[in-house]
A and B are shown apart, each in its own frame.
Chain A
Amino acid sequence: MSEYVLELKGITKIFPGVKALNNVQFQLKPGEVHALMGENGAGKSTFIKVITGVHKAEEGEMFLNGQKVDFKGPKDAQAAGIAAVYQHPTSYPHLTVAENIFMGHEIIKNHMIQWKAMNSEANKLLKELNADFDATAEMGTLSVAQQQMVEIAKALSTNAKIIILDEPTACLTRSESEELYRIVDKLKEEGVSIIFISHRFEDMYRLASRVTVFRDSQYIGTYDVDGITNADLIKAMVGREIKDLFPKPEVKIGKEMLRVEGLSRVGYYKNVSFNVHAGEIIGLTGLVGAGRTEVVESVCGITRADEGKVYLEGKEVYVKKPSDAMEKGIILLPEDRQKEGLIMSWGLGRNVTLPTISKYAKNGICGEKEERELSKKLLEDVDTKAVDIFQPASSLSGGNQQKVVVAKALSQEMKVVIMDEPTKGVDVGAKAEIYAIMGELALKGYAIILISSEMPEILGMSDRIIVMCNGRKTGELSRGEATQEAILELAMEKGHAAGKEAAK
């Protein structure tokens, strides 16, 4: 047997007009967890698709246990024991867990599906993963973390020896990530080799023994995790040094802009109060499902609170629709850029001016020329990497899409900017740029609320941190007193027990 279970040499993949992979290499040892890192667009996803047989490389060779292989399609890769688990579980929400696990390779006798055998087999797999739900549960009722577990069980059900996890922790909370780490450790013990794609350094340190970095479609290097520092890795990934990931400027805190008092919505959150001043960045954190997003959605009129009051600059305001909130100067930059933040098929310029078209219109007819001028200026202000304002939003990377969302908010006079997970799925270079924009907004006197599950970002950018758990505010920490441990303690308060209950 060769030293590697999987080895790729000189892989080049060309899409019309672009070299998506340029002579890259990769080696995976048996029972190893190998991190694959790089900025968005570095070629990681394409590379994974070459391994799983979705794409065929123009050049290069692939060896499985020392044997040269040539996958014609995903089926070949599956038969060879390679399975991939994607960031957003691609499941059938209305089918049961067992049906999802065995989709495509059902247990069949005389052309009939053997439900009993399938359910018990599925339960066996779930038990191995310490799952706390049953194989007959409907997929759609599970949390993202649980769905991911099903995907992993699905990979195991095909007897996969190599499992590829594509940004598995991107949608997970901290405790859920811990659960995933445990599963990965267990798989490793069983001799499964794992390729792990992630933007989180934490994941890599915790799990991987080696890390391979891609940049601009090229192989940069493979390093032992033990001997590497954050700075080294960032440099390898970005190609330059990022001196300060969190450029938080010293801002003189101004008057109170937004105050929320005793806001409640039955079933979502209860009695939440906080305030934010001009020039201040407050971090709103907690586990996913703690009610963070729900609270700000009510503040912005997307949903209605049952009780409580919202004050803007000391005056009580009644917000019923997002348009009300925007008129008054409160804007929410939603978490889901593709579904809520942008119109992906539209050009960047039109996206930016969408909330404010009336401002440039004469007698209801759009002032397209002014719109073009303004959107160009705003997009350049936030340093969007784009060629022209007509290219569709879908053609940009996640980080640049986020910048367009920010530009959209800047197209009007705003007082309070609420950012929900602004760096989700954004690579490290673009992250630093988004933080820089946040800092500049604070300098200009905006009051900013940052919702995030990422601890370093909350700690790095916030003047004050508000922690929520199970729909309640469990604490408030100043920048000075906040530590990772202190936040976690507040976020997990009673959290574990309740979380388990909810899962049942």
Chain B
Amino acid sequence: MAGKSGRSINNVPESPIKKMLFSWEGILVIVFILVNIFCACFSEFYNLKSLLRQMPVYLAEVFLMLPMAYILVLGEIDISVGSIVCLCATMSCIVCNTGAPFVLVVITALVVGTLCGSVNGFILTRFQELPPMIVTLATQIIFRGIAEIILGSGGSISASNTDGFRLLAGKVGSVPYILFLVVIMAVIFAVILGKSTFGRRVYAIGTNRLTAYYSGIHVQKIRFIIYTVMGTISGLCALFIVSTSYGANTTTGNGFEMDAIAMAVFGGISSTGGKGNLAGGVISAFIIVCLRVGLGQRNVHAQVILLILGLLLIGAVALPNIIGQVKKAMKVKK
């Protein structure tokens, strides 16, 4: 078939550098620099060395942000991840205390996490009408409940053999392993979401699930995979949590899901689905990590840090809205 009118349709994209400058990620990079300047002024101890030393505690949560970004792009939410972390941490400590080799401990955490995630995925794909918020609220209670039963009356467990966990907390020079792992995982997750067919399909589902389905996309399969991977990564996060605390208790992982969601949303990943990318998510995660380290060094109360993060988040959500209004007002004036 020939275009009868011979009309030509442009297919040359605009330069990505220009796009980057005016994007949310561009703003985040500036915020990242500002936050670091602020922290350096605020705390005399704040420098690269102290940052590297103190960041592993907070970095574990950055893992959770990666699959959470996928779930948010789907237009869904998973609030059970904190409980999965708790259950995985508990189980890995138990296995560790039996004297099993550390490899087995790692496998335990990852398998338990994967199983929990697949339970979420199974329920959500088998009963598609159920809202993810409610389903994962239920599993949040269930997973933590199981962990509490296992932990028993003491409510806590410590790892008797910490050699393996010490290994995880190791460093190359002054750079902790976990930072390498976070960066590698972030690149993998970002490339899959941004460049792969899988990622494109995730965006399609998040923007218009019906159209995606009609276009032959395996909507339920993709959802199942993502929730399952969320579980696996929760297991990974649990391992690093145990490697900093050498134990688990009933409050391990409390609120982690919300931190992960906050990092992603602050990074421009809309909770309504189909918008944002992991570059933004990762930058925002590091903004939050730096801010926590910096404020923590001057013994700023944890609650105050939360308050600041909350304000930042509201700002992040409202800003595009405000920019839109200003743009509109300017257009009308013209």
Contacts and interface: CB of A to CB of B under 8 A. Distances in A.
Interface of A: 16, 302, 321-323, 325-327, 332, 334, 339-346, 348-350, 354-355, 357-358, 361, 364-366, 372-373, 375-376, 379-390, 408, 437, 440, 444
Contacts of B212: 343, 354
7 contacts: A16-B334, A323-B216, A325-B216, A349-B11, A355-B217, A388-B9, A440-B1
Interface string B185-223: 000000110011110110010011011111111100000
Contacts of A354: 200, 204, 211-212, 215, 217
Given A322-B216, A376-B9, 12 more contacts: A323-B218, A339-B208, A345-B274, A346-B204, A346-B207, A348-B9, A364-B196, A365-B197, A366-B200, A380-B7, A381-B3, A389-B10
Contacts of A345: 207, 274
Contact of B197 (A16, A348, A366): A366
A126 B215 CA distance: 42
Contacts of B207: 343, 345-346
Contacts of B215: 322, 354-355, 408
A348 B198 CA distance: 19
Interface string B217-234: 110000000000000000
A32 to B, nearest CB: 37
Interface string B102-134: 000000000000000000000000000000000
Most buried by B among A349, A365, A375, A379: A365
Interface in B1-56: 1-5, 7-13
Nearest to A383: B3
B10 A388 contact: yes
Interface residues of B, number: 36
Q: Across chains A and B, which 6 residue pairs bring their CB atoms closest together, nearest first?
A: A388-B10, A323-B216, A376-B11, A380-B3, A326-B216, A372-B11
B301 interface: no
Contact of A341 (B2, B211, B218): B211
A323 B217 contact: yes
Given A365-B195, A387-B9, A339 B216 contact: no
A12 B5 CA distance: 31
A343 B204 contact: yes
A444 B216 CA distance: 24
B196 A387 contact: no
Contacts of A357: 197, 200-201
A383 B6 CA distance: 8
B8 A380 contact: yes
B185 to A, nearest CB: 17
Contacts of B210: 339-340
A383 B10 contact: no
Given A341-B214, A361-B196, A386 B9 contact: yes
Contacts of A16: 331-332, 334
Interface string B159-194: 000000000000000000000000000000001100
B206 to A, nearest CB: 10
Contacts of B5: 383
A365 B196 contact: yes
A61 B200 CA distance: 51
B211 A389 contact: no
Contacts of A321: 216, 218
Contacts of B12: 388
B11 A332 contact: no
B195 A373 contact: no
Contacts of B218: 321, 323
A343 B11 contact: no
A320 B211 CA distance: 17
Contacts of A365: 191, 195-197
Nearest to A348: B9
B170 to A, nearest CB: 32
A248 to B, nearest CB: 16
Contacts of A376: 9, 11
Contacts of A302: 213-214
B1 A364 contact: no
A364 B196 CA distance: 5
A115 B204 CA distance: 46
Interface in B293-334: 331-332, 334
A301 to B, nearest CB: 9
Most buried by A among B208, B212, B216: B216
A345 B5 CA distance: 26
A443 to B, nearest CB: 9
Contacts of B198: 364
Given A380-B8, A382-B1, A355 B196 contact: no
A385 B9 CA distance: 8
B9 A379 contact: yes
Nearest to A440: B1
B11 A350 contact: no
Contacts of B11: 349, 372-373, 375-376, 388-389
Contacts of B13: 372, 390
Given A16-B332, A372-B13, A389-B10, A437 B1 contact: yes
Nearest to A327: B216
A452 B211 CA distance: 21
